[in-house]
Structure 1
Amino acid sequence: MEIRIEAIQIAESFNIKKFRTDFRTEVHSGSTSEVFYAMEDKDRYLYVFDYGVVVFANYDAVAKSELISFIKNYATNLVDLDLFEEYRIETDDNLQKVVVKNNYVIFPQVDSSILRIVMLNIGQSVALDYYEVLTNELITSSKHYILELEQRGKLSISKTNLLKYIGKVLNVKNSIVDNLYILDDPNLVWDNEELNLLNRHLKVNFDINTRFKDLDYRLQIVENNLTLFTDVLNVRESSRLEWVVIILIALEIAIALFFH
């Protein structure tokens, strides 16, 4: 048997509570931040995360398209970056242990708990792809200003635009911090050694922890650049104020001399 899995980043976030209410299918498990459906009569599985990722298992193109159209009604800030990841699960009764590969995993037999762990890790991987894109955009834009400092010795960006840029950086970082839980191990692995081992193998396979550390490092670089830009802007503003003070003093002296 083969189960096809696909994870897609659809939006920045979903309203999970409202989606659960309107999506009239029995919930297998979930929380305020995620919901997992096991529609075994149709041999379909669905995992929705509040950080804007949907993971499908055994959905054909039509069913997937219909679900995406439906769930967009509960989305905030749709993402148009074509971020997705495909994976598959195979079963082999002769296996004695799980075999994890880059594009697939093989089990002696599969149940909903195994599917949840696999789909969870694929969803995490796609979410990290999205944050990597955002962070790379921030680094690219900061390089432009650094190059300007190197070549001209000053920044042409206005205070308003710099503040907007700072706000964008902080928004991305806060979004990542808010979703730090995506790296947490799910509750169902705590008392099941086999699921715990599978979860660890998949995290290594998708480089979940390594990629997050790299993401955090890149954000730190951007923050350091922001500090530099802010200091340069403060110096520029201070210099401008000094000239204003000098001009006012000169005018006051000129007026005093004139009337004297």
Structure 2
Amino acid sequence: MEIQIEALQIAESFNIKKFRSEFRSEVFSGSTSEVFYALTENNRYLYVFDYGVVVFANYDALAKSEFIQFVKNYATTLVNLDLCEEYQIVIDEKLPKVLVKNDYVTVPQIDSSLLRIVMLNIGQSVALEYYEVLTDDIITSSKHYILELENRGKLSISKTNLLKYIGKVLNVKNSIVDNLYILDDPNLVWDNEELNLLNRNLKANFDINPRFKDLDYRLQIVENNLTLFTDVLNVRESNRLEWIIIILILIEIVIALFFH
């Protein structure tokens, strides 16, 4: 027996509280930031995270499409990127223990808690991919201004546009930092050694921790670039003020000479 799992980055965030109140299914487990459903009547499982990720298990194409259209009503900003990840759970009763592979995990038996751990890690992996894309875009866009500083020794961008760019970068950076709690281990693994081992193996399989460290490093680069651009803007504004003061002094001297 196999269970097909697919995780999708649909939006930047979901209003989980409102979604839970209006989605007419009993919650298996959840919090203010996530909600997990075990729809046993049709052997489907669903995991929705407030950072814009939905994970499906045993959903056909039509059911996924219908739910995506529904959950978009609770999204803040839709993500127009094809970010998804597929995985499988293979049930083999002959196996003595869980075996994690690159694109599937084999288990001797399945329950909702085990399925939740698998779906959680796939959701984390897709979310990290989204943040990696955002950070890459920011670093790439900043290279243009850095090259301009290297070649011309100044920035041709206006103050307003530069402030808009800084604001955009800070907004993305804050969004990433606010949602890095996704890497926290769920409470249910603390008292269950088997689930804890499965969780650790899945994190290793999806390179969750190395990718987080790389993302953190890129965020440091972004922060350094912001500091540089802010310093350049301050210097430019200081120079402008100095010239204004000089011009005013010259005007005052000219006026004084004219009247004398």
- Report the TM-score, using the length of structure 2 for normalisation: 0.98
**Equivalence for 1:203:** 203
**1:85 matched to 2:85:** yes
**1:65 matched to 2:65:** yes
Matches within 5 A, 1:164-203: 164-203=164-203
Offset of residue 149 of structure 1: 0.6
CA distance in 1, matches of 2:210, 2:199: 15
Q: Which amino acid counterpart does residue 7 of structure 1 have in structure 2?
A: A
**Equivalence for 2:143:** 143
Aligned-residue RMSD, C-alpha: 0.8
CA deviations over 1:81-111 (Å, ceiling 9, x no partner): 0100000000111111111111000001111
Offset of residue 180 of structure 1: 2.1
**Equivalence for 1:97:** 97
**Equivalence for 1:253:** 253
Offset of residue 112 of structure 1: 0.6
Q: Does the residue aligned with 2:12 lie in a helix, a strand or coil? A: strand
CA distance in 1, matches of 2:87, 2:161: 42
**Equivalence for 1:106:** 106
CA deviations over 1:103-147 (Å, ceiling 9, x no partner): 000001111111000000000000001111110110011100000
Q: Does the residue aligned with 2:3 lie in a helix, a strand or coil? A: strand
Q: Does the residue aligned with 2:156 lie in a helix, a strand or coil? A: coil
CA distance in 2, matches of 1:6, 1:18: 24
Offset of residue 213 of structure 1: 1.1
Q: Does the residue aligned with 2:77 lie in a helix, a strand or coil? A: strand
**Equivalence for 1:156:** 156
**Equivalence for 1:76:** 76
**Equivalence for 1:27:** 27
CA distance in 1, matches of 2:166, 2:84: 29
**1:132 matched to 2:132:** yes
Q: Does the residue aligned with 1:96 lie in a helix, a strand or coil? A: coil
- Report the TM-score, using the length of structure 1 for normalisation: 0.98
* Aligned residues between the structures: 260
CA distance in 1, matches of 2:3, 2:22: 27
Q: Percent identity?
A: 83
CA distance in 2, matches of 1:16, 1:253: 67
CA deviations over 1:62-86 (Å, ceiling 9, x no partner): 0000000000011110001010000
Bigger shift: residues 94-103 or 165-174: 165-174
Q: Structure 2, unaligned stretches of length 5 or more?
A: none
CA distance in 1, matches of 2:60, 2:131: 28
**Equivalence for 2:226:** 226
**Equivalence for 1:13:** 13
Q: Which amino acid counterpart does residue 224 of structure 2 have in structure 1?
A: N
CA distance in 2, matches of 1:174, 1:152: 31
Q: Structure 1, unaligned stretches of length 5 or more?
A: none
Bigger shift: residues 169-178 or 100-109: 169-178
